[in-house]
């Protein structure tokens, strides 16, 4: 009988399955040598980054200012409160431990293959954890939920601290949120599944690309990080952005006045003069043709003039708020009247430009000339600065003194510093998302006209900016009758009787809508208040063709904004049509469209003009 073979019979096995990318192509092969080479390149670039930062910061005027955010005193107060309330902190710590134990229980069940609901979930609007691995991978799901637990605990603990005044409590809360946002696991390469995947698939090339972009952005900012938010090469002035036809018909040291070419044979007899903020450029109102508010107004038969503010340098650093009044809307009104022949103009002010518009009306009234203005529109404008939102955390004596000292050395507040302050108000969207995309994933930012504009911030003259922050943000003197004086004239906005349209936006992080609503209780004339959905920019730049967002209206104006909203009617779509109907009521007839400029004010150059072209 033959012996059984002790050798096992080999079975035919199929070839290994090849993972492919969504487009069907196989993923790149992992190459240890290439990975090592890219890590060496990354180390070399890191050295250049450190050298660049040390080189620039060694001569930076910002160095030497201790504790510019004046957080030390607030943090010491928190420490004292914690030491005085050991039971409270012990309870908070036990709650944190309990949350983490419950999370471990849930994650254990998930590892055993059970279908379990997350112990804690992020907001549906939180885009940091949109990658599928944050939900599908037990490890990354655990990291994410652990972070959310810690973030909630820290925020609640800080909010329970007693004894702080309102400003210090607001400041502590704000910077706690900044810390929480910065520590998100999505911001670190080894705890972000998308970054880890990209690093393995590209053999580390994403890290090399990202560090290269970081070095370029630091050098572009003169040693300060200037994060690229969009592909700036994708936009060309006068071509695919700010391309509404028009002419510069007047200019002085502070502004160019642009008149736009009519597209209708007849126009409303009352022209519009738009005064934008001088924190950014005017062309937020004239981005791409499909979302240009200026183009839409012209097509509706309005003669539109827009102030394009200069990007001031050191010689203009001593320009005062008075100068912005005298050399801005006041002189512009004279030019508009000369060109159109109309004795009245309707004013439109956006943000800080709206604050200046109210001051302009108060000034005209004091001179007996308020009748020169047919109507006034305020877009997301603060008049009462009692509750100025998160920007108020930067306003106290310590921080203002530090800022004024820094501005005095160069005559202005640098555009990068200004942009960073505003970006911190929405740090996840305007800082950390780009850190991940640009520097960790090594990707180019998406071409987006609004973010191109957002990156085009301007400098602020030292004298003007100090007056604005001290008298309005800190002391709130504008709402007090004759609380401030400009151009040797007491300013009393409570006496304004001009028909007024006030637009606020529901999610505004710069001019909170409940604060902008306060204007309805201040002005003395007929007022229409409208609340648009979304934020400071998207809520305003919302063309009807997009059928996006909504707005609320309520003809009654009770003292409390919550009561106004409770009685308001919601309408789908853009607020532009509602405003257009209101504007039409303050223009009596149609006239032939005026020419661009006249003999006295001859066109100087094509819109958008040379002032708007100066970047930083």
Active site residues: 351
**Other C-beta atoms within 10 Å of 169: how many?**
17
Task: Cite the beta strand spans of 174-280 per DSSP E.
Answer: 246-251, 255-260, 266-268, 272-275
Contact 523, 496 (CB under 8 A): yes
Contact 259, 429 (CB under 8 A): no
Q: What is the DSSP letter of 475?
A: T
Contact 493, 361 (CB under 8 A): yes
User: 250 pairs with which residues across the strands?
Assistant: 257
Kindly give the pairing relationship between strand 246-251 and strand 605-606.
antiparallel
Contact 349, 356 (CB under 8 A): yes
User: 412 pairs with which residues across the strands?
Assistant: 461
Closest Cα partner for 396 from 72, 61, 154, 64?
72
Closest Cα partner for 608 from 302, 322, 294?
294
Dmax over Cα atoms in the chain, in whole Å? 126
In 326-414, where does DSSP find H-type helix? 331-340, 352-366, 397-410
**Is residue 569 helix, strand or coil?**
strand
CA–CA distances in Å: residue 75 to residues 72, 164, 488:
5, 10, 43
Long-range contacts of residues 138-143, Cβ cutoff 8 Å, at least 24 apart = 138/107, 138/110, 138/111, 140/191, 140/193, 141/107, 141/110, 142/103, 142/107, 143/185, 143/191
**Other C-beta atoms within 10 Å of 1: how many?**
3
User: 378 pairs with which residues across the strands?
Assistant: 349, 502
State the burial class of residue 565 (Cβ atoms within 10 Å of its Cβ: 0-12, 13-18, 19+): middle
96, 389, 427, 186 alpha-carbon torsion, rounded to 10° = 20
**Is residue 107 helix, strand or coil?**
helix
Task: Cite the beta strand spans of 127-263 per DSSP E.
Answer: 246-251, 255-260
Contact 506, 376 (CB under 8 A): no
Contact 520, 530 (CB under 8 A): no
Q: Please state the separation of Cα 248 from the chain's center in Å.
A: 28
Strand (E) or helix (H) holding 500 = strand 500-505
**Is residue 327 helix, strand or coil?**
helix
CA pair distance 315, 308, nearest whole angstrom: 19
């Amino acid at each position: 009988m033959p012996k059984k073979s002790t050798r096992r019979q080999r079975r035919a096995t199929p070839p290994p399955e090849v993972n492919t990318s969504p487009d069907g192509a196989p993923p790149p092969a992992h190459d240890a040598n290439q990975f090592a080479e890219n890590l060496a390149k990354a180390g070399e670039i890191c050295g250049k980054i450190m050298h660049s930062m040390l080189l620039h910061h060694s001569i930076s005027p910002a160095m030497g200012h201790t504790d510019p955010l004046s957080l030390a005193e607030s943090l010491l107060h928190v420490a004292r409160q914690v030491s005085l309330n050991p039971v409270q902190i012990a309870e908070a710590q036990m709650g944190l431990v309990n949350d983490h134990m419950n999370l471990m229980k849930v994650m254990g069940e998930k590892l055993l293959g059970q279908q379990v609901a997350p112990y804690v979930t992020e907001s549906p609007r939180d885009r940091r954890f949109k990658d599928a691995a944050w939900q599908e991978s037990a490890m990354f799901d655990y990291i994410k939920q652990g972070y959310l637990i810690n973030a909630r605990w820290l925020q609640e603990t800080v909010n329970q601290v007693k004894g702080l005044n309102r400003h210090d409590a607001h400041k502590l809360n704000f910077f706690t949120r900044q810390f929480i946002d910065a520590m998100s696991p999505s911001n670190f390469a080894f705890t972000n599944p998308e970054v880890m995947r990209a690093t393995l698939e590209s053999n580390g090339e994403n890290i090399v690309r990202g560090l290269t972009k970081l070095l370029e952005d630091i050098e572009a900012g003169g040693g300060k990080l200037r994060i690229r938010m969009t592909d700036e090469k994708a936009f060309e002035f006068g071509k695919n952005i700010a391309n509404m036809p028009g002419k510069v018909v007047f200019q002085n040291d502070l502004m160019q006045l642009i008149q736009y070419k009519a597209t209708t044979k007849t126009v409303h007899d009352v022209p519009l003069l738009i005064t934008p903020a001088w924190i950014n450029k005017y062309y937020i109102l004239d981005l791409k043709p499909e979302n240009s508010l200026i183009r839409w107004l012209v097509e509706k038969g309005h003669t539109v003039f827009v102030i394009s503010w200069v990007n001031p340098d050191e010689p203009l650093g001593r320009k005062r708020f008075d100068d912005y009044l005298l050399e801005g809307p006041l002189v512009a009104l004279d030019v508009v009247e000369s060109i159109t022949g109309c004795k009245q103009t309707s004013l439109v002010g956006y943000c800080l430009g709206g604050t200046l518009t109210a001051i302009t009306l108060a000034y005209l009234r004091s001179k007996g000339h308020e009748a020169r203005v047919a109507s006034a529109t305020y877009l997301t404008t603060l008049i009462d600065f009692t509750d100025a939102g998160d920007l108020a955390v930067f306003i106290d004596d310590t921080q203002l003194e530090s800022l004024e000292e820094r501005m005095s050395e160069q005559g202005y507040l640098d555009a990068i510093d200004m942009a960073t302050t505003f970006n911190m108000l929405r740090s996840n969207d305007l800082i950390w998302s780009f850190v991940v995309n640009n520097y960790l994933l090594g990707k180019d930012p998406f071409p987006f006209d609004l973010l191109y504009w957002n990156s085009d911030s301007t400098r602020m003259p030292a004298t003007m900016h100090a007056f604005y922050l001290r008298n309005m943000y800190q002391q709130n003197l504008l709402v007090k009758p004759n609380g401030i004086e400009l151009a040797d004239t007491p300013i009393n906005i409570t006496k304004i009787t001009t028909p007024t349209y006030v637009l606020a936006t529901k999610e505004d992080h710069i001019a909170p809508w409940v604060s902008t609503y306060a204007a309805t209780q201040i002005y003395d004339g007929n007022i229409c208040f409208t609340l648009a959905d979304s934020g400071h920019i998207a809520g305003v730049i919302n063309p009807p063709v997009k059928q996006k967002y909504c707005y609320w209206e309520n003809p009654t104006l009770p003292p409390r904004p919550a009561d106004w909203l409770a009685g308001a009617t919601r309408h789908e779509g853009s607020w532009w049509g509602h405003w257009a109907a209101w504007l039409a009521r303050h223009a009596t007839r149609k006239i032939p469209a005026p020419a661009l400029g006249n003999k006295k004010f001859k066109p100087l150059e094509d819109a958008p003009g040379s002032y708007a072209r100066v970047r930083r």
